[in-house]
Structure 1
Amino acid sequence: MGDDAWRRELIEDLDSGLPAGRVITDPDVVSGYVHDDAEWAPHGTPAAVVRPRTAEEVRHVVQACLRHRAPVVPRGAGTGLSGGANAIEHSVVVSTEAMTTIKEINRRERLAVVEPGVVNDHLRAACAEHGLWYPPDPASAPWSTIGGNVATNAGGLCCVKYGVTRDYVLGLEFVTGTGELVRVGRRTAKGVAGYDLAGLMVGSEGTLGFITEVTVRLRPARLPEHTVVGYFSSIVDAGRAVEAVAVAGLEPSALELIDRHCLAAVDEWKNMGLSTEADVLLLGRTDSAGPAGEREADAMLACFEKAGATFAARSTDQQEADALFDARRLAYPALERLGPVLTEDVCVPKGAVPGMLARIEEAAARHDTLIANIAHAGDGNLHPLLITRSGDDAARKRAQAAFDDIIAAALELGGTVTGEHGVGLLKRDGLAAEAGPAVLALGRAIKDALDPHGIFNPGKVIAPG
């Protein structure tokens, strides 16, 4: 059967079990779904895009794709930075954008049940109305979806104290590689019945099944935070302050780093006047109650000063403090205005943060590449941003070489190639170097068991053996 006939039969099969308008084949519309925000990650042309509204509709799509052996590429908001949502040639991209129902917020049990297309910030706002809080807060929280956050085990600014998405996923509903709709996990505070299949799905990047519902743990509304601001003349000094906070045994609710390139880009865009004050900005917060919070903020301030801050102070203006954290969230989109941005996502032990930041600076100089730095510095998760000019192929090759050097340096320092963005397509070689052949073989065995026909996001995370 030729490609055209195969595609026609696939689309007819998809259409046969779905309401009108769910299956999209218009090339102009489809083009908006072919890749995520990962710079230079390859993508193909899908046979169709489907926008289901229910779990049963997802199940029909998967079963149709099984019949025609068409790859299924799950897609949330497309904010990923590793190519995990990129279309594969002749695939069916299945978007969760219409699956946006918050089904339940249970104050007594402190949990929420949501569809995968619910935007992170929308869930957080809904929980706040009940005096509850959903902690994972990636910088993309105003746009990224819970399904995508689960797929990549997203973290965020407050994960230094409160953990990442995996720590909040209680249960999942998903469509399996044989087209069944199953539930895994629990709603109870405890539960050890069988293997932790819900945990296995978190961070699997759509390669093991299609998530149609998520049950997440919630916390009580958080207490007001104390903010500590530090200006540093070098990124390594700021790294030493991060290390000092860890050595002091402090548990900040956030500890974020923004370098001069990011500050200048935000200033150019939003005219906030930050880059005139510091080369590197370190933002710390603590949310412990009462006198304990005061003591922690003072101790963090002392760590900043001892590490060589040119200026450090506790912020007494909440609006000003919130604006500084807004600048942290604006850094990536601000830099995108300068040209293509290749985003790194390495994570190293906290004691290795100064050394890793120095290695990033060395890679920038060695490969003549502009590298800006933002970081969830408190837990060692660094995001070097490699910036090039559009159409400059030589600069692109240099940036990719620097990208590889940064991955190698992170592994040498006892770190990992990705802290929260996922492996996708960009980090497959890095994963192979980190995990080794035996562990990769275990991963392929799990993939084969849960997706026996290999239709879910093939080629992502672990390259075929």
Structure 2
Amino acid sequence: MSAEAASSKETTASTDLSELAGELSSGALVTDRDVIDSYSADKALFCPAGEALALVRAASVDDVVAVMRFATTQRIPVVTQGARTGLSGAANATDGAILLNVAKLNAILDIDKVNQTCRVQPGVINQDLKHALAEHGLSYPPDPGSVAISTIGGNVATNAGGMCCVKYGVTKDYVRGMTVVLADGTVTKLGRQTAKGVAGLDLAGLFVGSEGTLGVIVEITLGLKPLLTPPVTGVGIFPDTESAGHTVSEFMSSGAAPSMLELLDGASVAMINAYGDFGLPDGAGALLIVQSDAPGRSGVAELEAFEAVAKRQGADEVFFSEDPADSEMFVAARRAVSPAMEKYVSGIGGGELVDDVCVPRSRLGEFFARLDEIAAAHTVEVSTAGHAGDGNMHPSVLFDASDEASVAEAKETFAEIMQLGLDLGGTITGEHGVGYLKKDWLVRELDAGAQVLQSSIKAAVDPLGILNPGKMLG
């Protein structure tokens, strides 16, 4: 054990929590070790989880304020959490930290039809918000694969995107303002309620994607859209991912504006077919699922243009449907990637490491060609799905987690995929965040000037370094 870890454990053992308990809602403070440990990690592999001092399940903003004031006074780290569905270890405990879970702050505070906005607390589940907005003829487009279980606060913390982002953008495009509790317990409002506003620096935008390293978000104002039109859906079947990647590049360069353009490689299709009956063709090298919600016959025309491009790039077959049931089935198939993969890896040793690289879509064909080379050079499996329309791919490395050699090879393969993303002018993470998993890679992506800026901002907002230490900015 390092001297730093030993010192942290001594602090954990000696800290008197009675003062904090007196400031919190009844039952908010948890000191039971088994319960604390059950909250100590998200879904990421290869990310250590330390021994936290306590868990606070905040029931109010006042609880959050009390935690941050106590933590500042006692120099105790704080790790903010929501549903803990993340894939980068950002919600993992550090030794001696207070785990501040805000999942109970889950109220939809206001829905404003005139201004097309809503105010929500961070614990609101994305899908629950969508259902509530639909009753008012409104929609919130960002839809990560974890839409049914991830929170708006978590989506803001990682700037999540999803399947509609090719046309409708990612989380940051909808965040207008927020209320944040800073490291010392100060409550401040950032951003705006209005559609436009440039009063000062965009501090709300700074907090989007900050992964709990700058403050605790306790309320968010989101811009909304009118309820989206039911789309027309098309499917292109390809012999390989490279031809599918070239199709995406050519189709999008034509000025097309699909509301969805998703890719499944052959391995993903096989796993989904083994998981459930979604009507996907067996034996495909890759699928592109494309949707258009353009008005009238314009949607059909857009898919006809997709068909022409796909056939020029070597598609085996292209078909499309205006039946809403077909659209729902193909979207359900795309969302089934995660549970289908989980079922598959349970039979090969349980190892699943999901990457999250994003490359310029003009280089998708090259990305897939080189990804195939990486996969062929290793004995672990690589299966890929993702948001092809904006170049954000999720190659998953599948391996035997009980075998040291397989684990080592999985890590090497994962690293090679991240380097490939950088080599092609992309980024190490499109929407999953840096967290602990990729923090050592962040310095490879950011130049020296950017590193200084990021460190300076962190030091200015969190001078004691108590907010999610050891994650993202290191």
For the aligned pair, the TM-score class normalised by the smaller chain equals: over 0.9
Contact 1:84 1:423 in 2 (8 A): yes
Change (3 A) 1:326 1:81: same
Pairwise CA distance, 1:3: 4.7
Contact 2:183 2:462 in 1 (8 A): yes
Pairwise CA distance, 1:277: 5.0
Q: Which residue of 1 aligns with 2:139?
A: 133
Pairwise CA distance, 1:414: 0.8
Encode CA deviations 1:89-115: one digit per residue, 9 max, x unaligned: 111111111111000000001000000
TM-score by length of structure 2 reads 0.95
Q: Which residue of 2 aligns with 1:424?
A: 435
Change (3 A) 1:312 1:54: same
**Matching residue's letter, 1:400:** K
Contact 1:177 1:455 in 2 (8 A): yes
1:255-334 matched pairs, under 5 angstroms: 255-272=261-278, 274=280, 276=282, 278-334=284-340
Contact 1:347 1:418 in 2 (8 A): yes
**Matching residue's letter, 2:434:** V
Encode CA deviations 1:160-186: one digit per residue, 9 max, x unaligned: 011000000000101112210111111
Of 218, 227, 250, which residue of structure 2 is paired with 1:221?
A: 227
SS in 1 for 2:176: strand
**Distance between the aligned counterparts of 2:372 and 2:120, measured in 1?**
42
SS in 2 for 1:386: strand
Of 451, 454, 463, which residue of structure 2 is paired with 1:452?
A: 463
Encode CA deviations 1:281-312: one digit per residue, 9 max, x unaligned: 11001111113222212111212222111110
SS in 2 for 1:308: coil
Q: Which residue of 2 aligns with 1:433?
A: 444
Q: Which residue of 1 aligns with 2:397?
A: 386
Contact 1:260 1:275 in 2 (8 A): no
**Distance between the aligned counterparts of 2:450 and 2:147, measured in 1?**
32
More displaced 10-residue stretch of structure 1: 254-263 or 372-381: 254-263
Pairwise CA distance, 1:116: 0.3
Pairwise CA distance, 1:273: 5.2
**Matching residue's letter, 1:381:** N
**Distance between the aligned counterparts of 2:188 and 2:351, measured in 1?**
41
Contact 1:35 1:87 in 2 (8 A): yes
Unaligned runs of 5+ in 2: 1-6
Change (3 A) 1:219 1:202: same
Pairwise CA distance, 1:7: 4.2
Pairwise CA distance, 1:14: 2.1
Pairwise CA distance, 1:275: 5.2
**Matching residue's letter, 1:192:** V
Q: Does 1:349 align with 2:366?
A: no
How many pairs align?
Answer: 463
Pairwise CA distance, 1:9: 3.4
Contact 1:367 1:401 in 2 (8 A): no
Change (3 A) 1:175 1:362: same
CA RMSD of aligned residues (A): 1.5
**Distance between the aligned counterparts of 1:124 and 1:168, measured in 2?**
14
Q: Does 1:194 align with 2:200?
A: yes
Of 172, 180, 200, which residue of structure 1 is paired with 2:178?
A: 172
**Distance between the aligned counterparts of 1:267 and 1:10, measured in 2?**
54
1:64-213 matched pairs, under 5 angstroms: 64-213=70-219
Q: Which residue of 1 aligns with 2:378?
A: 367
SS in 1 for 2:400: coil
Change (3 A) 1:273 1:221: closer
SS in 2 for 1:44: coil
TM-score by length of structure 1 reads 0.97
Contact 2:177 2:193 in 1 (8 A): yes
**Distance between the aligned counterparts of 1:236 and 1:3, measured in 2?**
51
Change (3 A) 1:2 1:138: closer
SS in 2 for 1:346: coil
SS in 1 for 2:299: helix
Identity %: 43
Encode CA deviations 1:338-365: one digit per residue, 9 max, x unaligned: 1221111111111101111112111111
Encode CA deviations 1:402-451: one digit per residue, 9 max, x unaligned: 11111111111111111111111111222111112221111010000001
Change (3 A) 1:342 1:108: same
Change (3 A) 1:164 1:37: same
Change (3 A) 1:275 1:391: farther
Change (3 A) 1:10 1:62: farther
Q: Does 1:46 align with 2:57?
A: no
